[in-house]
Amino acid sequence: MKEFWQTMTTTWWGITLLCVACAAVWILLSALLYRQFFKRFYAILLSGLAILVFSWLLIILIIVGAIKMKGNPFFTQQRPGKISKRTGKEKIFNLIKFRTMTCEKDENGVLLPDEKRLTKYGKFLRATSLDELPELFNIFAGQMAIVGPRPLLVQYLPLYSEEQRLRHKVRPGLTGLAQVNGRNAITWEQKFKYDCEYVRHISLFRDIKILFMTVGKVFKRSGISQEGQATMEYFTGNKRYNVLVLSAGRRVELVNAFKAARDRLGINGDVCAADMSELAPALKFADKRFIIPRISGDDYIPQIIEICKANDISLVVPTIDTELVKLAENKSLIESESGARVLISDEQSVRVCCDKTLTAKYFAEHGFDCPATYDITKDRAGLSYPLFIKPRDGSSSIGAYKVDNKKQLDFFAEYVDKPIVQECVGGKEYTADCFCDFDGNIITVVPRWRMVTRGGEILKGKVEKNRYIIDDVKRLLTSFGFIGQITVQCFLTDDNKVKYIEINPRFGGGAPMSIAAGADSCENLYRLLRGEKLDYNEDYEDGAVYSRFDGSVRVDK
């Protein structure tokens, strides 16, 4: 035996065999005890070496980052780590990265959206994954591993299911199985699936494979962000957000807009539609459909509450004027009984908007230009024609007529129920599609030139970022304190004066034009429902022209 060991330690082939045997034993032990010991051992060893080897690069990036970001080059944020055996809760640590976004804020002191703060230098860091380099210190300190589920936001913790929380059974990683299978470009459901699969099947050879795949992903620069986003959409948990569109009728565009926003954001939930007629075409496009009583019926509100409770509705969306006052009167009742939020402003504002006489009075008393209103019950002499007559509580231009002389006025005054008479205004007619959050903060104002209309409905329209209209409409919205979607009708005179005709506190028929141009109120509503804060923006396409068309769908099956 002595001669054997002497031969093994003095000959080149013997030394080689010993080295191979030791390496094999080491690899075998590493594989067998990888999860219990060697995973952490290699994390300390490799991160320490990497810090030494890349110290020159770290110094350069610190200096360049301080210049580019005009200050602190580091971004630190609390993230949840591995679940503590003692407390049973995730250990919270400060993640360290290189800063890729500025700290720019709007006039209200609120941080601008990610896509506006992400710099070219930041995009370069993310594309090359150099922004992750300081996480080597998190790894060396034992807060992270080299391979594991990526550390997410602390506010996501209450949203996890028991299955999803498995990702915190191990230390979060610099890279992981989800990273090499799509990174930020995959859905949350896919990401958690990969994370849980990794936790259940940790092995030395899988980690080595993931590291090699990571290098390839870095060079390809793939999956850096989710489509249409600067990084990744917020995780909203496993909650379903079901939307109910009332009096759906022909609002196929609106139903489809909600479905498109839901799918684009990866939201769980149904887009439901309700109408009194089973032949309403929009019902055919909804995920769920309901037949409800007439708005004037005593069982209208109870039926809506029952539908909301039975189908876990998150948001009720009105679409026609005749239901607005009733919904505003019963908003608190519906919300307290069902838990659904009703997209309707306060009762007083709705009553003013739904009565054209009160609307005109509000405009006059609050300094908003509008057509002159005449009381034809007192005196019809001395009026200047043409005039415009319409029902004070009308909708969709039903019963609205232009009158050119006293004879026509006398006829329509008898024909139109509860008429209001106003001067005919010259200029270009506009609709402003407006959206306010649940606290009344203005998010978007989109003026649309009503190029062609039929029966009060717009057929062709052009989005125009007209400053006169936008600024004045914002003043009007602030005066009322609306929430949700608001449709403002106005004229822009030749001398650039905005003259208001009426306000409809609901989605207008042409709202899908503004949605298609980029002011997506449906997406905004989903974001608000899941707790996001929105800021005012004009991120929609100026000059976009839209033409609407009819379609047919079979409704007897």
Token output for 351? 């009553």
At 228 the pLDDT is: 45
Give the pLDDT score at 453: 79
- Token pair of 10 as six digits: 């003095």
Omega within 30 of 0 (cis) for the link into 386: yes
Parallel, antiparallel, or unpaired: how do β-strands 271-275 and 242-245 relate? Answer: parallel
In DSSP notation, 428-449 reads EEEEEEEEE-TTS-EEEEEEEE
Domains of the chain (ranges, CATH numbers): 1-32 (no CATH), 33-220 (no CATH), 242-344 (3.40.50.20), 372-422 (3.30.1490.20), 426-547 (3.30.470.20)
From CA 350, how far away is CA 552, in angstroms rounded?
34
Question: Which ranges of 86-230 would DSSP assign to H, the alpha helix?
Answer: 114-117, 120-128, 135-140, 188-200, 204-220
Distance CA(262)–CA(312), nearest Å, equals 16
Assess contact for 237 and 535: CB atoms under 8 A. Answer: no
Nearest to 82 by CA among 13, 24, 181, 169: 169
Contact present, 150 and 135 (Cβ < 8 Å): no
Q: Which residue in this structure is represented by tokens 């320490």? A: 48
Residue type at position 415 = Y
Residue 197 has which token pair? Answer: 């699969």
Q: What residues contact residue 4 under an 8 Å CB cut-off, 6+ apart?
A: none
Residue 5: per-residue pLDDT: 59
Rounded Cα distance between 199 and 123, Å, is: 31
CA dihedral 253, 257, 260, 263 (to 10 degrees): -130
Separation CA 281–CA 233 (nearest Å): 33
pLDDT of residue 201: 92
Distances from the Cα of 78 to the Cα of 32, 137, 195, angstroms: 33, 15, 20
Quick one: tokens of 361?
């009075």
pLDDT of res. 402: 73
Structural element, H or E, at residue 540: none
Residues 6 or more apart from 418 whose CB is under 8 A from it? Answer: 391, 392, 393
Q: Please work out, in degrees rounded to the nearest 5, the angle formed at the alpha carbon of residue 329 by the alpha carbons of 324 and 330.
A: 100
Q: Nearest to residue 441, comparing CAs of 402, 477, 403?
A: 477
**In whole angstroms, what is the distance from residue 280 CA to residue 269 CA?**
22
Residue-level pLDDT at 7: 63
| CB 523 within 8 Å of CB 266 | no
Q: Are 250 and 280 in contact (CB under 8 A)?
A: yes
Strands of the sheet with 341-342, listed across from one edge: 288-291, 271-275, 242-245, 313-317, 341-342
Each of the 557 residues of the chain gets a pLDDT tens digit; together they read: 666 556 656 666 666 776 777 777 778 887 888 888 889 999 999 999 999 999 999 999 999 999 888 888 999 999 999 999 889 899 999 999 999 888 777 666 666 777 778 888 888 888 888 899 999 999 999 999 999 999 999 988 888 888 889 999 999 999 999 988 877 677 888 899 999 999 999 999 999 999 989 888 777 755 444 444 445 677 777 778 999 999 999 999 999 999 999 888 878 899 999 999 999 999 999 999 999 999 999 999 999 999 999 999 999 999 999 999 999 999 999 999 999 999 999 999 999 998 888 888 898 899 998 887 766 666 666 677 777 777 766 665 566 777 677 777 767 777 777 776 767 777 888 999 999 999 999 999 999 999 987 767 788 999 999 999 999 999 999 999 899 999 998 989 888 889 898 899 999 999 999 999 999 999 999 989 987 889 999 999 999 999 998 888 888 87
Residue showing tokens 């009322």 = 480
pTM over 0.75: no
How far CA 439 is from CA of 106, 253, 343, 388, in Å, comes to 18, 27, 12, 36
pLDDT at 224: 47
Q: Which sign, positive or negative, has the C-alpha torsion 129, 145, 179, 74? A: negative
Quick one: DSSP state of residue 529? H
